[in-house]
Amino acid sequence: MKKAFYIAGEWREGTVYAPLHAPYSGERIAEIPQADERTVDQAIASAQEAAYAMRRMPAHQRAAILEKISRLFEERLEEAARIIALEAGKPIKTARGEVIRTIQTYKFAAEEAKRIHGETVPLDAAIGGEGRVAYTVREPLGVIGAITPFNFPMNLVAHKVGPALAAGNAVVLKPASQTPLSAFFLAELAEAAGLPPGALNVVTGSGGTVGDKLVADPRIKAITFTGSPAVGIGIRSRAGLKRVTLELGSNSAVIVDRDVNLAAVVPRCVFGAFAYSGQVCISVQRIYVVKEMYQAFLEAFVSETRKLRGGDPLSEETDYSAMISPKETERALAWIEEAKQRGASVACGGEVEGRVLQPTILTGVPADAKVSCQEVFGPVVLVNPVDSVEEAIALVNDSRYGLQAGLYTNNLSLALQAADELHVGGVMINDVPTFRVDHMPYGGVKESGMGREGIRYAIEELTELKLVAIKR
């Protein structure tokens, strides 16, 4: 099926097309237009024109359009989930969960559109400030360049498009090359919801061509990027004075203290490590268990993990499927091999069946092995014993990344100590770092990024604060 760009409210054919293959079956599922600079230029021009209309659109109308998009996702939930399952290889049960979150994300955006406000500033607190009334307003930036990854092709797009439109901006969206169909689906719903032409443009093509143009073009006022640290750091270094929000990777960890209820903890750790085959930015990659609990935890964790079923993402039975590409599977396997050569043991998994890498649990992994210190972004997790929670906190912090971390404990003072000392964007006490709901502030420190998403926080990133001072 031949797809088209969505520019200025029209579906426009490309001149060059690339085939899109399903990660699990390898089957060719669509032909995707590949933008050149001229196409991106047209998309930016159309967004710039629409930005004037969006800026003047009353909040209730922006809210109504976002509310309608949310409703349309609800009506077409199953269709949306099947698109994700097919192009991203995400098990259908998990894909439905993503659509349910997407519905909420647009709903939150609709609600937040109505409460974007400033504050009054008491200028008379300063000598010379008497006799004035002052207040701040939040104004849209104009045209936003949104660049998104493959792993949540509906909901992470929603985290950019939702707040950008809520704040009265226009958007040029460049989805990941592996997951363009989800972005086209959104464009269809946005059009049906009455979004003015040009307020959302979807341009597919290589990250190099489309991404570079978005980052370089002066009409784009902000880049909101979710993806790998290497690409994100490159964008930031080229963006000049543009606003940049970066949601990048991690090697997230969870700590398990001595007094916890394993029956509750273990299933959450299985979910955290292996949901969507670990291709989640806050996937559990490192588990540190205090030594008294280590054996019991490991046995239960391996036994729960063995219950997961691999296979076709469109099957209701499937818990895990193929990684996004054979190349990524090869990389994950090579990293497992490297860990083994450095003394690690495989407690479970480690093999590929068809295109599907099994959920893999490693023990005895040294801290400088790739599966520990880099981002695996695959179904691989390590479980190591520690003497104390304090030692584990130091291990968690010994990382280039800092997105979220989890600690299971019933010791309140240890929990508070961890909350103070963990150098991450979010600390989850009594849950895995994989916990996220869509209105909470979300983002990282260090190489995990800068800026925050979660609708209200993303709106702050995508608006400019203006002061108005009136002399009586």
Could you say whether residue 441 binds ligand NAP (CB under 6 A)? Answer: no
Could you say whether residue 161 binds ligand NAP (CB under 6 A)? Answer: no
DSSP at 258 = T
User: Least Å distance between CB 99 and ligand NAP?
Assistant: 16
Taking the C-alpha atoms of residue 38 and residue 40, their distance in angstroms, rounded to an integer, is: 5
Taking the C-alpha atoms of residue 299 and residue 119, their distance in angstroms, rounded to an integer, is: 55
Rg over alpha carbons for the chain, rounded to the nearest Å, is 23
Of 313 and 425, which CB lies nearer to ligand NAP in the complex structure? 425
Could you say whether residue 150 binds ligand NAP (CB under 6 A)? Answer: yes
How far is CA 394 from each of CA 128, 382, 386, rounded to the nearest angstrom? 51, 16, 11
Are the CB atoms for 216 and 240 separated by under 8 Å? no
78-86, 148-156, 381-389, 454-462 -> range binding ligand NAP (CB under 6 A):
148-156
Among 25, 61, 136, 228, binds ligand NAP (CB under 6 A): 228
User: Least Å distance between CB 252 and ligand NAP?
Assistant: 9
Taking the C-alpha atoms of residue 68 and residue 51, their distance in angstroms, rounded to an integer, is: 20
Taking the C-alpha atoms of residue 6 and residue 157, their distance in angstroms, rounded to an integer, is: 15
User: Least Å distance between CB 283 and ligand NAP?
Assistant: 8
Phi, psi (rounded to 5 degrees) for 427:
-110, 125
Are the CB atoms for 386 and 290 separated by under 8 Å? yes
Among 149, 168, 310, 451, binds ligand NAP (CB under 6 A): 149
Taking the C-alpha atoms of residue 274 and residue 247, their distance in angstroms, rounded to an integer, is: 21
Among 89, 162, 227, 426, binds ligand NAP (CB under 6 A): 227
* DSSP 3-state of 236: helix
Of 108 and 294, which CB lies nearer to ligand NAP in the complex structure? 108
User: Least Å distance between CB 50 and ligand NAP?
Assistant: 22
User: Least Å distance between CB 278 and ligand NAP?
Assistant: 10
Could you say whether residue 19 binds ligand NAP (CB under 6 A)? Answer: no
User: Least Å distance between CB 90 and ligand NAP?
Assistant: 13
Could you say whether residue 281 binds ligand NAP (CB under 6 A)? Answer: yes
Of 166 and 202, which CB lies nearer to ligand NAP in the complex structure? 202
How far is CA 454 from each of CA 116, 147, 163, 261, 461, rounded to the nearest angstrom? 14, 16, 9, 31, 11
Among 208, 218, 241, 316, binds ligand NAP (CB under 6 A): 208
User: Least Å distance between CB 403 and ligand NAP?
Assistant: 6
Are the CB atoms for 77 and 99 separated by under 8 Å? yes
Of 141 and 231, which CB lies nearer to ligand NAP in the complex structure? 231
For the annotated catalytic residues, the residue numbers are: 247, 281
Type and span of the H or E element at 333: helix 326-341
Per DSSP, helices labelled H in 316-454 are 326-341, 370-373, 389-397, 412-421
Type and span of the H or E element at 127: none
Could you say whether residue 345 binds ligand NAP (CB under 6 A)? Answer: no
Could you say whether residue 218 binds ligand NAP (CB under 6 A)? Answer: no
Neighbours of 303 (CB within 10 A): 12
Among 139, 212, 338, 391, binds ligand NAP (CB under 6 A): 212
Of 19 and 208, which CB lies nearer to ligand NAP in the complex structure? 208
Could you say whether residue 207 binds ligand NAP (CB under 6 A)? Answer: yes
Nearest one of 386, 385, 384, 389 to 414, comparing CA atoms? 389
User: Least Å distance between CB 210 and ligand NAP?
Assistant: 7
Locus of tokens 């300063």: 126
State the binding string over 241-280 for ligand NAP (x if CB under 6 A, else -).
------xxx-------------------------------
Neighbours of 469 (CB within 10 A): 11
Using CB under 6 A as the binding criterion, the count of chain residues that bind ligand NAP stands at: 29
Are the CB atoms for 132 and 459 separated by under 8 Å? no
For ligand NAP, the binding residues (CB under 6 A) are 147-151, 156, 174, 176-177, 206-208, 211-212, 226-228, 231, 234-235, 247-249, 281, 375, 377, 403, 444, 449
